[in-house]
Amino acid sequence: MFTRPAVLYRFNCICIEPRFILDHLDSSFFPFQTSKTPALVFFVFVKVMRFLQYTTLRRAVALAMFAILVLPGSLLADRPTTAKKLTEEQKILHVLNRLTYGPRPGDLERVKAIGIEKFIEQQLNAPAIEDTKLDARISRFDVFGMSTAEVFGKYPNPGALLQQLEGRNRRQQPANGAPAMNEEPTAAERQDRQRQLREIYAEYGLRPAGQLLPQIVGNRVVRAAYSERQLQEVMVDFWQNHFNVFAGKAAVRWYIPSYERDVLRKHALGNFRDLLAGTAQHPAMLFYLDNFESVSPNSQQRAGGNGPLQRAIRSGNVSPQLREQIKQRQGITDAELDRRIAQARNAGNQQRRGLNENYARELLELHTLGVGGGYTQQDIVEVAKAFTGWTIADPRGYRRAAANMIRGEENRQIERLQRMAGIPDDIESGEFYFNERWHEKGPKAVLGQKIDEGGIKDGLKVLDILVKHPSTAKFIARKLAVKFVRDDPSEGMVERVAAAFSKSNGDIKATLRGLFTDKEFFAPENYRAKIKTPFELAVSTLRALGAETNANPALIGMLNKLGEVPYGYQAPTGYPDTAEDWVNTGALLERLNFAVAISSNRIPGTRVDLRGYYAASRGEILENAIGKILYDEVSPATRASLEKQAAQPLPEVAAGNEADDLDLGDINMRPAGMPGGGMNRRVRLMQPSGEPEVFKAVSLVLGTPEFQRQ
């Protein structure tokens, strides 16, 4: 018996003997050599051999493992440039790799038939593109057809649901007016609670809250892979990271369906001012950056109200006599009274938090002006004051909506909360509203401009100032240039794109049109100059192979292993978009793992048909893969390495078993910048299917620098 290291990169479809690596390590493994290449490749090699040394596995890594020695140097190296202009076919491939998630079989010919300019204009006008075939694929993601209040009620938090229905935990025994600590439930009690939940969910048509994230991520994957409105999907991904929210924070996941549908996708190609205002007012952002709790220090609303219970809590004197009076007057139990006391105390704590600067800081630093954009700490404070009172009606409604529905109290509960908080009657649970009583009144000064519009208009005026500021134009222009052109765009191009942004008053289509028609967009040095992010790599693989997928949790688990799941980045910066953040030893191993798994049909719910790659000889199969996936664009060094690896005897094909299944981190639950992590779950990969020589060749080609780049 042995313990496997925590960093255990293994491939369960095709495995080779360790000495295979040693026997075939020669100069042909180092194409595009630079000063960085030998050191990095040697580092990878040492890591692999140390791993093999400390385990008793006779099966080492995977078919693609030896290809990893080809990739790091060439991915990180400065690409050799040529003075030659791009051919027409290269321009089409460049557009397909940047404006879409990569070409599908036949896309090159389709764009060639209508022309590059017309294709770009079609993509810029996404609503005019017929996309009805997508509807059937995404129809099962029903949360995107619901309001937030409906999501609260349909996908309740299970623990909170039982607490609400039981009047808190049955084991809790209040004494002397104070709740006792909960004891740890026994195994029998846990089983009983699970049984109760199953019965409640079945009787009232509820669904587990754990299904929210798979639907959210599955919807993104399916849209990215199959939508004809490709540029819109690329921009949804761009804006999701620009205006990032983290699904792992409390109620945020319940808000994401509306956030993506009503803000990100709706305004992805619209006007930046509308997009910025949509994110500022959306509960997902308000909750993520805590602005829903931001209250003016000068607010006259007293914490927790002025009733006898609230006054007693503020004074710290909830006597047994007062408890009995309140119970008799309101007809409630001890457990219900304890719950209300806790709520009142929380309300008091919330009120005492006062001004919250989180959103104001990120609005200036990440959403508009950027670091060094000309603002000061005092500007942050003034912006925070302008956004006081921007809050959420019943922000944690997912804890009680289903229970209120079951008890027939949903309308009464909502009405009571609205009266207490001053919420308008037409606002549903989980929606934005402006609380005038919480707002900081009086003039503010932001970036040297006076703001005294009053009420909600203070915050809207701040947004107007920021959108028109030249630092915002330059910040957005640079991020778009990094996304669509190269990691280090020239200052000249950034200035030209910023001018297009400013001239159009933040029109996103006009800004992108300026970027795509810029003289540097088709510059030879920018061709295949970007490394695909893990999400781009996964979706481009699905598209290149013409895969069919339902984007079930197995595929999402593979995305998690790659290191990028939508809404899974904890920091407000969102996932990075430069090569240095994604090219490292572990990341490249996981990329090759994905290539082998998908090519050999090991991922449940995802199938590829590679019969079109089959040929009479190994060499012809490899040529087919190079032609169909890389469009015959492969360097001599890469081709030589591919031919060498394809000629090796096919290693053992091993079916996965429970001990060898991939460990999948709990999706979206990792700290910022950390791949994997979180609570481990396992998903069993299927046995490989298809012609081994074919999926070996396809896996190798998917692992080349030419496919990893875009």
Residue 650 pLDDT: 46
pLDDT above 60 (res 177): no
pLDDT above 60 (res 349): no
Determine phi and psi for 548, rounding to 5 degrees: -110, 125
Buried b (16+ CB within 10 A) or exposed e, 249-281: eebbbbbbbbbbeebbbebbbebbbbbbbbbbb
Q: Is residue 53 part of a domain?
A: no
Q: Two tokens at 205?
A: 């048509």
Q: Is residue 614 part of a domain?
A: yes
Span 473-486, pLDDT tens digits: 999 999 999 999 99
pLDDT above 50 (res 459): yes
Mean pLDDT of 426-433: 89
Residue 614 pLDDT: 96
Q: Report how far residue 555's alpha carbon sits from residue 558's, in angstroms, rounded to the nearest whole number.
A: 5
> CB neighbours of 421 closer than 8 A, spacing ≥ 6?
393, 435
Give the torsion through C-alpha atoms of 44, 50, 56, 62, to 10 deg. Answer: 0
pLDDT above 60 (res 239): yes
Q: Two tokens at 702?
A: 């998917």
Residue 591 pLDDT: 92
Q: Report how far residue 128's alpha carbon sits from residue 589's, in angstroms, rounded to the nearest whole number.
A: 41
Residue 704 pLDDT: 95
Residue 683 binned pLDDT confidence (cut-offs 50, 70, 90): low
Residue 293 pLDDT: 96
Q: Report how far residue 242's alpha carbon sits from residue 335's, in angstroms, rounded to the nearest whole number.
A: 44
Residue 397 pLDDT: 85
Q: Report how far residue 611's alpha carbon sits from residue 602's, in angstroms, rounded to the nearest whole number.
A: 16
Residue 548 binned pLDDT confidence (cut-offs 50, 70, 90): very high
**Sign of torsion over alpha carbons 283, 289, 290, 291:** negative
User: Which SS3 state, helix, strand or coil, does residue 178 take?
Assistant: strand
Q: What angle do CA 223, 228, 233 make, to 5 degrees?
A: 45
Residue 194 pLDDT: 86
Residue 4 exposure: Cα atoms within 13 Å on the Cβ side: 12
Q: What angle do CA 121, 125, 128 make, to 5 degrees?
A: 120
Residue 315 exposure: Cα atoms within 13 Å on the Cβ side: 11
pLDDT above 80 (res 375): yes
63-77, 300-314, 436-450, 687-701: segment of lowest average pLDDT: 63-77
Q: How many CB atoms lie within 10 A of CB 207?
A: 15
Residue 77 pLDDT: 54
Q: Report how far residue 12's alpha carbon sits from residue 492's, in angstroms, rounded to the nearest whole number.
A: 49
Residue 189 binned pLDDT confidence (cut-offs 50, 70, 90): confident
pLDDT above 50 (res 491): yes
Give the torsion through C-alpha atoms of 482, 483, 487, 493, to 10 deg. Answer: -30
Residue 75 pLDDT: 58
Give the domain range for residue 581: 530-708
Mean pLDDT of 588-604: 92
The DSSP annotation for 609-629 comes to --GGG--SSHHHHHHHHHHHH
pLDDT above 70 (res 515): yes
Residue 63 pLDDT: 40
6-15, 56-65, 295-304, 536-545: segment of lowest average pLDDT: 6-15
Mean pLDDT of 213-232: 98
10-14, 517-521, 632-636: segment of lowest average pLDDT: 10-14
User: β-strand 606-607 against 548-549: which pairing, if any?
Assistant: antiparallel
Q: Is residue 695 part of a domain?
A: yes
Mean pLDDT of 381-403: 90
Q: Is residue 455 part of a domain?
A: no
Our count of domains for the chain comes to 1
pLDDT above 90 (res 388): yes
Proportion of the chain above pLDDT 90, given as a percent: 61
Q: Is residue 667 part of a domain?
A: yes
Q: Is residue 659 part of a domain?
A: yes
Span 86-120, pLDDT tens digits: 999 999 999 999 999 999 999 999 999 999 999 99
Helical (H) or strand (E) element with 14: strand 14-15
Residue 192 pLDDT: 85
Q: Report how far residue 520's alpha carbon sits from residue 628's, in angstroms, rounded to the nearest whole number.
A: 28
Proportion of the chain above pLDDT 70, given as a percent: 74
pLDDT above 80 (res 6): no
Q: Report how far residue 264's alpha carbon sits from residue 505's, in angstroms, rounded to the nearest whole number.
A: 19
Residue 46 pLDDT: 39
Most confident by average pLDDT, 156-165, 351-360, 463-472: 463-472
Looking at every residue in the chain, the average pLDDT score rounds to 81
Span 565-592, pLDDT tens digits: 999 999 999 999 999 899 888 888 889 8
Residue 669 pLDDT: 36
Span 611-666, pLDDT tens digits: 999 999 999 999 999 999 999 999 999 999 999 988 875 443 333 333 233 333 34
pTM, two decimal places: 0.82
Q: Is residue 649 part of a domain?
A: yes
Nearest C-alpha neighbor of 119 from the set 111, 131, 130: 111
Q: Is residue 556 part of a domain?
A: yes
